[in-house]
Structure 1
Amino acid sequence: MHRTVESIIKGQKVIDDGDMTLFRALPQIERRSLGPFVFLDHYKHDSKRGIGDQPHPHAGIEVYTYLIKGKMEHSDSRGFKDVLEQGDSQWIRAGSGILHAEKPFEGRHGLQLWTALPPEKSEIEPAYKSFKSNVIPIIEKDGATIKVLTGTVDGVHGLIESETPTVLSCIYFSRSTSIEIEVNESFELGLYGVLGSFTVDNKTIQTGELAVLSTGDKITIFSQSDDAIVALIGGEKITWKIFFSGPFVATSKEGLSKAEKNFVAGNMGTLDGVPF
């Protein structure tokens, strides 16, 4: 059964100052999560100025970064250091708490997403992995290339082994064309417009918009642009309560308070003098 479009959420333009554009598609008033995803930032900037370039903490989540263009350096309080370039991806399991920073070497275009960890894993040990562009599984379709980061699309499995059943893929269209992909029938899924415009179920989605889809095992996407980029995101629906407080996500208010105290106490480690 083909999925249809249930709603279209316009990403909030958090920054638009001539150098940087930042859309935030999740969380929104009308939608706090899609599958386990509770946060979706889409950024583009020309200068070396960045977001997340100063040390900052995370807890209770998994963080996914996909770099469409540019180059940056990752460092964190667990001692992981890495350099990401165009087409690379990284995964951070923040769990009980980690500090990290992303230093841009040049202008960037990318996505950062968070998934909420389930209650039994919310304080799991932090971890980090990166996946270079040349090892990320791809699917070639008529006029489109699909990079599968996590989960399964058309029977192809991504390399990121997330704690929650998750799908994250980036679809590049080289011309105006229509493709059909097979997906998990029961997952909550959506399509986010990264560049250009595309159509699903006779509804047009523009850059910065998130189309929330119905259930089904197939999606047909028609690209209206020669260089459109579309992100497929989603997974198993969250069945527990989620609470936000800045960079922390928890399953209770007490969990948020604990994360904040752990950060201040230095229990998440330190990075470049932060938090002291």
Structure 2
Amino acid sequence: MSKAAKQQRGIRRVWNVSHRTGEGTHLRMGFVLEPGHWEEFDPFLAMMEDWFQKGTFDFHPHRGLETVTYVIEGRLEHQDNHGGKGLLQPGDVQWMTAGRGIIHAEEPLEGETVHSLQLWLNLPRSKKMTEPRYQDLHAADVPVRREPGALIKVFSGSSAGITAKTLNHVPVTMVEIQLEPGTSVVQDLPGSYNGFCYVLEGSGYFGAEETPGQKQQVLWLGPADGSPESEVTIRADQALRVLLYAGEPVREPVVARGPFVMNTEDEIRQAYADYFAGKFNP
């Protein structure tokens, strides 16, 4: 389909992200996407913005979801009960598939504060008990789309034909867009995807109606009105740094309790029973 035939996405809703002071080593926190809006945000479950130090996210379990962690500041070390271990620098992403069950820790290096975004991504029923896996997506290694005044890092999915090698159980586009003042860029998306932008720095105009957005605001994309292909235009006012996430809805029931996300209450009870019985170990 030609570029001209793609549906121009608007912005359906804009909201500010409020943060509150944490406790102990969890210095500050806020919801970018609040949990509980399962149908509206599908396939995304929640997104948290955190400032934290060592001792906040020690070993803990997950089942039935993926976590996508973007490090804004600081260095984050992760390890799990399957032998995985790595270090994330600012601008890196970790794509963790919990699947049937994993126990992991996400801790800043001693004496450092990590500022991060963590997205919880739903898995469909057919993938909830898949084998766990990690993908560390280092900023220096991901595909990059370059245009005058624009740099787009493709962590998942594609941007104008530049495609990431990230393995996805649920089709997801994740790009980091950096624009110089006055520059614009067009990001292509399948028309069926739900998606949003989160502004990390600067300000600009988003979508068909040029809706204004600025730092610490979320801009939820409007629908593509049944078109199979769509695109969203972003134009920088001030130097702009924004993350865009979009994905194919799962369209299944969601039951979430603590670190587990399944389809039924019985499956949640089984997840807790399996965890306490040691069945999350390899």
TM-score, with normalisation over the residues of structure 1? 0.87
How far off its partner does 1:198 sit? Answer: 2.6
Contact 1:142 1:179 in 2 (8 A): no
- What is aligned with 2:29? 22
- What is aligned with 1:157? 163
How far off its partner does 1:33 sit? Answer: 5.0
Q: How does 1:224-243 map to 2 (within 5 A)?
A: 224-226=237-239, 228-243=240-255
Q: How does 1:1-276 map to 2 (within 5 A)?
A: 1-15=7-21, 20-28=27-35, 34-44=41-51, 48-49=53-54, 51-52=56-57, 54-105=58-109, 106-200=112-206, 201-216=209-224, 217-226=230-239, 228-269=240-281
Contact 2:123 2:250 in 1 (8 A): no
The Cα RMSD (Å) is 2.4
Contact 1:35 1:187 in 2 (8 A): no
Q: Name the % identity.
A: 28
Q: Deviations 1:48-104 (Å, cap 9, x if unpaired)? A: 34642x111111001111223321211001110111112222111101110111121
Equivalences, count: 266
Aligned counterparts of 2:68 and 2:21: Cα–Cα separation in 1: 21
Amino acid in structure 2 at the alignment position of 1:61: L
- What is aligned with 1:274? none
Contact 2:262 2:268 in 1 (8 A): yes
Contact 2:35 2:46 in 1 (8 A): no
Q: Deviations 1:98-137 (Å, cap 9, x if unpaired)? A: 0111121223232211211101111111111212222111
Stretches of structure 2 lacking an aligned partner (at least 5 in a row): 1-6, 225-229
Amino acid in structure 2 at the alignment position of 1:261: A
Amino acid in structure 2 at the alignment position of 1:220: T
Contact 1:242 1:252 in 2 (8 A): yes
How far off its partner does 1:32 sit? Answer: 5.7
Structure 2 SS opposite 1:135:
coil
Contact 1:4 1:214 in 2 (8 A): yes
Stretches of structure 1 lacking an aligned partner (at least 5 in a row): 271-276
Aligned counterparts of 1:143 and 1:64: Cα–Cα separation in 2: 27
Structure 2 SS opposite 1:256:
helix
Contact 2:42 2:251 in 1 (8 A): no
How far off its partner does 1:250 sit? Answer: 0.7
TM-score, with normalisation over the residues of structure 2? 0.85
